[in-house]
Amino acid sequence: MKLKFIFALLVLFMVVGTNCFAQKYFIKIKAVAPHKLKLGQPFTLKASVAHNFNIEKTGGLTCTLLNAKTHMSVDGWFINIFPFQYFTTIANTPFETEFSFTIPHDYKGNFEINLVASVDQIKDSIHFSVPTYK
C-alpha cells in the first residue's frame, strides 16, 4: 500500500513538474526565398518574426547577403540598404518586414541569403541559396 502511494506521488510529481516547465520559449522566422533571380533584377524579400514569450519583447532581424562560393559579404554590391531591423512584438503576433536589394548586372554565380533573428539570448536563423541567370 505504501509503495503504491509513493508511486502515485512520483507520477503526479512528474506530470505536474512537466507541465510547469514544458513551456519552451522560441523565436521563429518565416520567409520565402526566390527560386532564381535575373541579373539586374530588384527583389524584395518579405520576412516575418514571431515568438511565444508572455510579454512584449524587442529584438533584431539581420539580412546578410553572401557570395555562395567564397562566403564573402556582397551586401554593399547588392545595395542591401537596410540589412538590420529592430522589432517589438507580443506573443504569437508576427512582425512583418521587407529587405530590398538588387542583383548587379555583372554578378556571376549563386548568392546566399541569411536571416537571423534574436531576442535576449534566443535566436533563430534561416538560410537560402539563390541562383542567378542572365
pTM confidence score = 0.77
Domain containing residue 36: 25-133
Element (H, E) at 42: strand 42-51
- Is it the case that residue 69 has pLDDT exceeding 60? yes
Percentage of the chain lying above the pLDDT 70 cut: 83
Q: Are 49 and 61 in contact (CB under 8 A)?
A: yes
Question: What average pLDDT does the structure give for the chain?
Answer: 84
Assigned domain for 19 exists = no
CATH classification of the domain holding 40: 2.60.40.10
- Residue 19: the pLDDT is 46
Residue 32 lies in a domain: yes
Structural domain contains residue 51: yes
Query: How many structural domains is the chain composed of?
Result: 1
Alpha carbon 104 to its chain centroid, in Å, reads 26
Q: How confident is the model at residue 14 (pLDDT cuts 50, 70, 90)?
A: low
